Amino acid sequence: MTIFSDLQSQANPEQAAILQRFFKTGKGEYGEGDIFLGLKVPVQRMIAKQHLKLDFAILQEMLDSQIHEYRMTALFILVLRNVKADQTMKDQIFDFYVKNTRNINNWDLVDLSAPNVVGNYLLERDKKLLYTFAKSKNLREKRIAIISTFAFLRVGEYTDTFQIAEILLHDTHDLIHKAVGRMLREVGKRSQFEEEKFLKKHYKTMPRTMLRYAIEKFPEDLRQRYLKGKV
C-alpha cells in the first residue's frame, strides 16, 4: 500500500467536517482551499513512522496537495527522519522545508514542524533567515520565524525569541498575536523574570490577545494587574 492509500483508509468524514470549520477553510479565510480527510494527529504520526524512507519526490507531491493530512504527514516524516539523520541529510531536509514554506500554510503545520526542523537546524548557526521571515509579508513565514525559536528556548536561549517578538509586536494578524504570546509564555515557564522584563517594556501596547497568551500561566493577581495596566 502507498502512503496515500494508508491515509485515505483512515478518513473520517464527520471529523473532516469539524476540521474544515476549525481551521478556517472558507473563502477569504487563512486556510482557504484546505481539504481534510478527518485524521487525528496520532494516526498521522503512526503512518509517518511506517513510511520514513519515502523519497523527496513523493514528499513534494504530498506537500503540493490540497489535502491537509498529506502535507502534515509529509512534515511528520521530515521531523522524524531529522532526528537520526547525518549532517548531509539534515541539510537536505532543512533546504527542502524552506523551499516549501508556501505549502506549510496553516498554523498547526508550522507549530508541529518548525521548531524541530528549522529551529534545531539553526540552533548553532546564523539565524538571519528567521529575521528575514519575521519581516516577510507572508503570514506563514512570520509564524515560522517565531515558532522556530521554541528550539532555542529548550536550551535556555531567549534573545532571538524576544527580538523576533519585537519585530512582530504590532502585526495585525490574530495568528501572529497568538504565536508570539505563546512563545513569551514558554519563556516564562523557564524564567518568569526574563519574560516580565520584556512584558514591562511592551505590555501596554502589545495586542490584547498576545498579552493574554503571554500571561496565561501567571498567578491570577499578577495576571489581572497586567490586564488592568497596573504593573
Cell 527580538 found at: 163
Mean pLDDT of 38-61: 96
- For every residue of the chain, DSSP letters joined together read --HHHHHHTT--HHHHHHHHHHTT-STTSTTTT-B-----HHHHHHHHHTTTT--HHHHHHHHTSSBHHHHHHHHHHHHHHHHT--HHHHHHHHHHHHHTGGG--SHHHHHTTHIIIIIHHHTTS--HHHHHHHTSS-HHHHHHHHHHTHHHHTTT--HHHHHHHHHTTT---HHHHHHHHHHHHHHHHH-HHHHHHHHHHHTTTS-HHHHHHHTTTS-HHHHHHHHTT--
Predicted TM-score (pTM) of this structure = 0.94
The answer to whether 51 touches 78, Cβ cutoff 8 Å, is no
pLDDT of residue 97: 98
Please give the residue that has the higher pLDDT: either 23 or 97: 97
In this structure, are 125 and 202 located in the same domain? yes
pLDDT of residue 211: 98
Domain boundary among 72, 106, 140: 106
The domain of 230 spans 113-231
In this structure, are 99 and 138 located in the same domain? no
In this structure, are 79 and 130 located in the same domain? no
Going by pLDDT thresholds of 50, 70 and 90, the confidence category of residue 47 is: very high
Mean pLDDT of 161-172: 97
Domain boundary among 78, 106, 134: 106
55: CB partners within 8 A, 6+ apart: none
Q: How far apart are CA 90 and CA 6, in angstroms?
A: 26
pLDDT of residue 32: 78
In this structure, are 45 and 117 located in the same domain? no
Would you say residue 91 has pLDDT above 80?
yes
In this structure, are 145 and 201 located in the same domain? yes
pLDDT of residue 202: 97
Domain boundary among 83, 106, 129: 106
> Which tens digits make up the pLDDT trace of 188-206?
999 999 999 999 999 999 9
pLDDT of residue 58: 97
In this structure, are 212 and 120 located in the same domain? yes
In this structure, are 197 and 126 located in the same domain? yes
11: CB partners within 8 A, 6+ apart: 37, 38, 39
In this structure, are 37 and 17 located in the same domain? yes
pLDDT of residue 205: 96
Would you say residue 1 has pLDDT above 80?
no
pLDDT of residue 92: 98
Would you say residue 22 has pLDDT above 80?
yes
Count of structural domains, the chain: 2
Among 29-33, 67-71, 131-135, 137-141, which is the least confidently predicted range?
Answer: 29-33
In this structure, are 94 and 117 located in the same domain? no
In this structure, are 91 and 147 located in the same domain? no
pLDDT of residue 27: 78
In this structure, are 122 and 184 located in the same domain? yes
User: What CATH number should be reported for the domain holding residue 162?
Assistant: 1.25.10.90
Mean pLDDT of 166-176: 96
In this structure, are 180 and 210 located in the same domain? yes
List, in sequence order, every residue forming a beta bridge with 67; answer none if it has no partner: 35
